[in-house]
Chains A and B, each alone.
Chain A
Amino acid sequence: MNYTWNWGIFLEPSPEGVGTYFDMLLVGLKWTIATGACAWVWALVCGSLIGVIRTLPNRWTVGFGNAYVELFRNIPLLVQLFLWYFVLPELVPASIGLWLKQLPNASFFTAVVGIGFFMSARVAEQVRAGIIALPRGQSMAGLALGLTTAQTYRYVLLPMAFRIILPPLTSEFLNTIKNTSVALTIGLIELTARARAIQEFSFQVFEAFTAATLIYLMLNLLITAAMRWLERWVKIPGYGQGK
């Protein structure tokens, strides 16, 4: 292969005028973390709600929950982001559309909403699985004690269900972080977009993407470690993993 390696490229000043190429990557990393974290909160809130209503003894809520999950998980994320970014502003009244278009950081908010909804469908599946994995006797016992349905979920079912699904939720969190890279197609200048910009300026394509890969890897290892710690912290002795 005829390629000139130059690992010192990251210390060279970036053509954007401020800082080095490495600083460019760090700015991208900030956007990746901000987008991933906000989208994850969104996914967790919406996903938990939808997951719960899919286990309620009500045909209509279950139907709505199923439709929601199938809608958001069966359309590719890239297509969803395009729909949110380019199609939505044209569907709403012109004045709201113009406001949406001129919103500062529009691509960031669109990415949070788009990735948030996409991942919420997956979280909803996990939450539902966690709830139906519990013995039927638990919800019956809750109701027999005189708890309302809401109280049964709040005090009996959800505390155990969330403990069961913590490990798969960790994977979904990591997926959320990785999915933020799709947002570069709607103009969010996150880590992958920065790596692309570096290769465009300097033609050092392998160095740029190696650095981005290592940064993603380190970020996700940190998250995995934090989630493992959380699992240990919330663990109830004698229940759940490793009896």
Chain B
Amino acid sequence: MRSIITRTTLAILATTALAFTAQAQELTGTLKKIKEVGAISIAHRDSSIPFSYLDDQQKPVGYAMDICTAVVEAVRVHLKLPALNVKFTPVTSATRIPLIANGTVDLECGSTTNNVDRQKQVAFTNTHYLTASAFVSKKTAKLMKIDDLKGKTVVSTSGTTNIKQLNDVNTARSLGINVLAAKDHAEAFLMVETDRAAAFVMDDVLLASLVANAKAPADYQLSAEAFSKPEPYGIMLRKDDPDFKKLVDKATADFYKSAAGAATYAKWFQQPIPPKGLNLNVPMSPGLKGAFSKPSDSADPDAYGS
């Protein structure tokens, strides 16, 4: 008998407490979950240099991670929490969608291209980088333009938009390129290094970081001609969660417009970065300057000018 009364009292108390919280905040979706758990879960990549990767202490670092740190702080302030735990979860290109969809992670901070097809499944916040598809080759091969690849063996990473663009150009200009598909970026670059392929088609920033990490960086050059207009990278979050998206959009927009935005860019792209102290030497493109002064989450490359 006593236990029933206690339980009823507890239930009433709990309901009242819930009602009060609801009145005070009206939290929904991801923000509600973060408040209840007292933690936000961030997905990072293991080798997406310099966006999101593990440093020599196996700690996730990178340009996108710094942006996410600013987002986490904005979430903490919004929820009026004294502290917010951050849980880091490593993801791969194959696991990021299920983990975002089932709520294991709240933000994916890496180098994920924002395009219209993917927006059917997830949402993206404001663009943090713009990258065009280019190719890398050995300087001795003297390949600068796409037409120079005529009749050559060219590699790209399977399942990327880059390999699609390569196939399109190959057919459109009837270049007779022998297209190879590699499992990942490292393997594709290895194919150029070991002469299995003459060139490797990929996002120019990824090529720059692969070259910087190569045994002999001076042996390689990036092409002058690009396969595509620069495409936007965005931080990924769950779809249909307008409150959380609004907060993240505002946090990233404030960050890009502030001095911290440009400073963070310079820190990862124009200064030596861990673990080996390499300097990628990629100045900010005019398109990205525009995207920083007027933040946008558009998937359309034309929205970014240049």
Contact = CB atoms under 8 A, between A and B. Distances in A.
B73 interface: no
B182 A203 contact: no
Contacts of B183: 184-187, 193
Interface string B176-201: 00001111000100100011100000
A229 to B, nearest CB: 37
Nearest to B97: A205
A196 to B, nearest CB: 6
B160 interface: yes
Contacts of A16: 163-164, 167
Contacts of A241: none
A2 interface: yes
A17 interface: yes
A3 B121 contact: yes
Interface string A182-203: 0011110100010011111111
A204 interface: yes
A1 B168 CA distance: 36
Which one of A1, A3, A6, A17 has the greatest number of beta carbons of chain B within 10 Å?
A3
A196 B195 contact: no
A218 B114 CA distance: 36
A206 interface: yes
A18 to B, nearest CB: 9
B257 to A, nearest CB: 30
B181 to A, nearest CB: 5
A2 B105 CA distance: 12
A98 interface: yes
Which one of B181, B183, B187 has the greatest number of beta carbons of chain A within 10 Å?
B183
B121 A204 contact: yes
A198 to B, nearest CB: 8
Interface of A: 1-4, 6, 15-17, 86, 98, 101-102, 106, 184-187, 189, 193, 196-206
Interface of B: 93-94, 97-98, 100-103, 117-118, 120-122, 158-161, 163-164, 167-168, 171, 180-183, 187, 190, 194-196, 238-241
Given A2-B238, A187-B182, 12 more contacts: A1-B101, A2-B103, A2-B240, A4-B121, A6-B120, A98-B195, A101-B196, A186-B183, A193-B159, A197-B159, A200-B94, A203-B117
20 contacts: A1-B103, A2-B100, A2-B103, A15-B164, A16-B163, A16-B164, A98-B195, A101-B194, A101-B195, A184-B183, A187-B158, A187-B180, A187-B181, A193-B158, A196-B94, A197-B158, A197-B159, A198-B159, A199-B94, A201-B159
